[in-house]
């Protein structure tokens, strides 16, 4: 009798809780209707998203279909829901220009979870917002000038021999080349050297810690996806609970590397022309007190150096290796374009005594077209975000975007919009000649974002991509190996766009 009563009470409480949750969901899902914005009807519990644990296609592809549908209805923008988070999706490129540049002061933040206290590596330039972001961006911008890039150029070139040896070894042994893995080792060595001043030995050591931790960061796990959903939807609670975005072993490794490197250089008065040295120089702008360097708003702490080095490493090695992978795949599918790039490489290098120099790389204009078209078809970050930091009235509309609202920028969808790129599935570098670019909206190609929060490392990323492609294409002709699954399918849960089954190529010595 007592058991029956207890069981009945539990059932009653459970039903009440479920009812409250459903009512809350339904009330939340009227948010855009209350704000007079067109929206797509969401469903409990994931809103307009699908269950991320059962996702069969990349979210940016699903978002592209939403974009296409809304544009066909003549909508300039739309309301969506990511679980319980209202998300404003921008379609009209003039509205997008307002958000990213013209009215940037309303959309300074990205809305990406970070927890500086419990997870120092998460508080990097890409994630932080507000005045802290402005201060840090101002400090770091001079480190990515053309002069600084030129100073680091030889460091890139020094990482090439091991990379070429790997390609040559696979060619001689008639093995198909997992080009993404080879390029990942190449860019790991480059970024590790420039960001940490260390030899990562990604080619010599099969389990190089830099390569292992870099790879691990991008491998989706069940617990990681669940945590990501919670952090994105309840960031304040997550910070109160002390939750971290970066796995502890990755965090411990990178913080130790940075602390050891900074200590060694300062103790031994050792300097090197790399990103790490630029950060150390920023850190030491102020004189030290007897307790060591103290953060006063004008210098950098060791944790801040670690965070910036970490994001430079993570973003730099993965995005560039991905871009070069897709570029080589498209060149392998389009041999006449590959030949044209190679002809340009040979012509330019002949003018520079056969040497690959910073100046020579800058002269390769057709390669720029190829990389821009690659970034159009395969933007590494296919969806960007902004966060409204103060109430914003949309121009010429009776609609207010509330403070705290997340803005979704559908990069992939824009890049495949037939109004801007006829037959978007075709690979056509000529789309990016000056003449053709002048016919399009300036915001129809945004692989690095745009406005004040445009990717600060874009110049470096393009430089290392051009170096890698130059060394490969001057010596090898590439073709698609039958091991590559075609047509390419994008991995459903990849953060940076990546091909399912990877891209396998054959190299033929020229």
Structure confidence by residue, pLDDT tens digits, 356-390? 999 999 999 999 999 999 999 999 999 999 999 99
Neighbours of 114 (CB within 10 A): 22
Between 287 and 217, where is the model more confident? 217
Among 81-95, 124-138, 273-287, the least confident range? 273-287
pLDDT in tens, 453-477: 999 999 999 999 999 999 999 999 9
Which architecture does CATH list for 35-509?
A: Orthogonal Bundle (1.10)
Neighbours of 454 (CB within 10 A): 12
279 within 8 A of 308, measured Cβ to Cβ: yes
Determine the pLDDT at residue 234.
87
Work out the pLDDT band at 4, boundaries 50, 70, 90: low
The number of angstroms, rounded, from the C-alpha of 63 to the middle of its chain's C-alpha atoms is 17
Exposed (0-12), middle (13-18) or buried (19+): which is 291, by Cβ within 10 Å? Answer: exposed
The number of angstroms, rounded, from the C-alpha of 231 to the middle of its chain's C-alpha atoms is 18
Between 5 and 67, where is the model more confident? 67
**Interval 127-141 mean pLDDT:** 92
Kindly provide the residue ranges of all beta strands, DSSP E only, lying in 379-475, ordered along the sequence: 384-387, 392-393, 400-401, 406-409
Q: Label the pairing between strands 384-387 and 406-409.
A: antiparallel
Between 15 and 86, where is the model more confident? 86
Exposed (0-12), middle (13-18) or buried (19+): which is 103, by Cβ within 10 Å? Answer: middle
- Indicate the average pLDDT of the chain: 90
User: What residues contact residue 354 under an 8 Å CB cut-off, 6+ apart?
Assistant: none
Whether this model's pTM surpasses 0.95: no
pLDDT in tens, 223-250: 888 888 888 888 999 999 999 999 999 9
Among 41-50, 83-92, 218-227, the least confident range? 218-227
The domain spans of the chain are: 35-509
pLDDT in tens, 296-345: 455 788 899 999 999 988 888 889 999 999 999 999 999 999 999 999 99
Work out the pLDDT band at 294, boundaries 50, 70, 90: very low
pLDDT in tens, 274-285: 888 888 888 887
For residues 352 and 330, what is the distance between their CA atoms, to the nearest angstrom? Answer: 28
Q: Pick from 370, 311, 325: which is nearest to 345 by CA?
A: 370
Determine the pLDDT at residue 360.
97
Residue 290 has pLDDT above 50, yes or no: no
DSSP type of residue 429: G
Work out the pLDDT band at 403, boundaries 50, 70, 90: very high
Residue 168 has pLDDT above 60, yes or no: yes
DSSP of 249-311, one letter per residue? HHHHHHHHHHHHHHHHHHHHT---SSHHHHHHHHHTTSPPBTTB----SSS--HHHHHHHHHH
User: What residues contact residue 46 under an 8 Å CB cut-off, 6+ apart?
Assistant: 52, 82, 83
């Amino acid at each position: 009798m007592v058991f029956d009563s207890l069981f009945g009470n539990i059932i009653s409480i459970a039903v009440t809780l479920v009812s409250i949750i459903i009512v809350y969901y339904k009330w939340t899902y009227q948010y855009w209707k209350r704000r007079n914005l067109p929206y797509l009807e969401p469903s409990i519990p994931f809103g307009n998203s699908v269950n991320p644990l059962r996702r069969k296609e990349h979210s940016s592809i699903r978002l592209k279909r939403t974009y296409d549908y809304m544009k066909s209805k003549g909508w300039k923008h739309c309301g969506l829901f990511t679980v319980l988070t209202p998300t404003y999706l921008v379609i009209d490129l003039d509205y997008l220009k307002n958000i990213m540049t013209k009215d940037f002061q309303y959309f300074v933040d990205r809305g990406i979870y970070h927890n500086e206290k419990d997870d120092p590596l998460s508080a990097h330039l890409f994630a932080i917002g507000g005045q802290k972001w402005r201060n840090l961006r101002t400090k770091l911008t001079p480190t990515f000038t053309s002069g600084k890039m030129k100073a680091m150029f030889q460091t890139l070139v020094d990482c090439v021999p091991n990379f070429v040896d790997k390609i040559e070894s696979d060619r001689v042994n008639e093995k198909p080349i997992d080009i993404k893995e080879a390029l990942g080792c190449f860019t790991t060595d480059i970024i590790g050297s420039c960001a940490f001043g260390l030899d990562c030995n990604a080619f010599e050591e099969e389990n190089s810690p830099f390569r292992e931790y870099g790879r691990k960061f991008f491998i989706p796990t069940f617990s990681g996806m669940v945590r990501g959903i919670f952090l994105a939807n309840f960031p304040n609670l997550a910070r109160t609970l002390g939750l971290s975005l970066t796995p502890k072993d990755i965090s411990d490794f990178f913080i130790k590397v940075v602390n050891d490197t900074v200590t060694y250089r300062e103790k031994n008065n050792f300097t090197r022309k790399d990103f790490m040295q630029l950060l150390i120089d920023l850190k030491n702008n102020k004189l030290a007190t007897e307790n060591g360097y103290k953060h006063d708003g004008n210098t950098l702490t060791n944790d801040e150096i670690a965070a910036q080095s970490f994001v430079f490493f993570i973003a730099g090695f993965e995005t560039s290796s991905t871009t070069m992978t897709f570029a080589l795949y498209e060149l392998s599918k389009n041999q006449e374009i590959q030949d044209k790039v190679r002809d340009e490489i040979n012509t330019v290098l002949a003018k520079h005594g056969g040497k690959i120099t910073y100046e020579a790389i800058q002269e390769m204009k057709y390669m720029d077209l190829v990389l821009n078209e690659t970034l159009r078809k395969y933007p590494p970050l296919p969806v960007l975000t902004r966060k409204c930091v103060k109430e914003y009235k949309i121009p010429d509309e009776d609609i207010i975007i509330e403070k705290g609202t997340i803005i979704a920028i559908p990069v992939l969808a824009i890049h495949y919009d037939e109004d801007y790129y006829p037959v978007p599935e075709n690979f056509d570098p000529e789309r990016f000649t000056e003449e053709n670019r002048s016919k399009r909206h300036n915001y129809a190609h945004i692989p690095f974002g745009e406005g004040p929060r445009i990717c600060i490392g874009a110049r470096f990323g393009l430089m290392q991509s051009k170096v890698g492609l130059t060394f490969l294409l001057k010596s090898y002709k590439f073709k698609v190996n039958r091991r590559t699954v075609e047509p390419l399918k994008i991995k459903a849960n990849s953060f940076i766009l990546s091909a399912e089954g990877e891209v396998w190529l054959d190299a033929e010595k020229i």
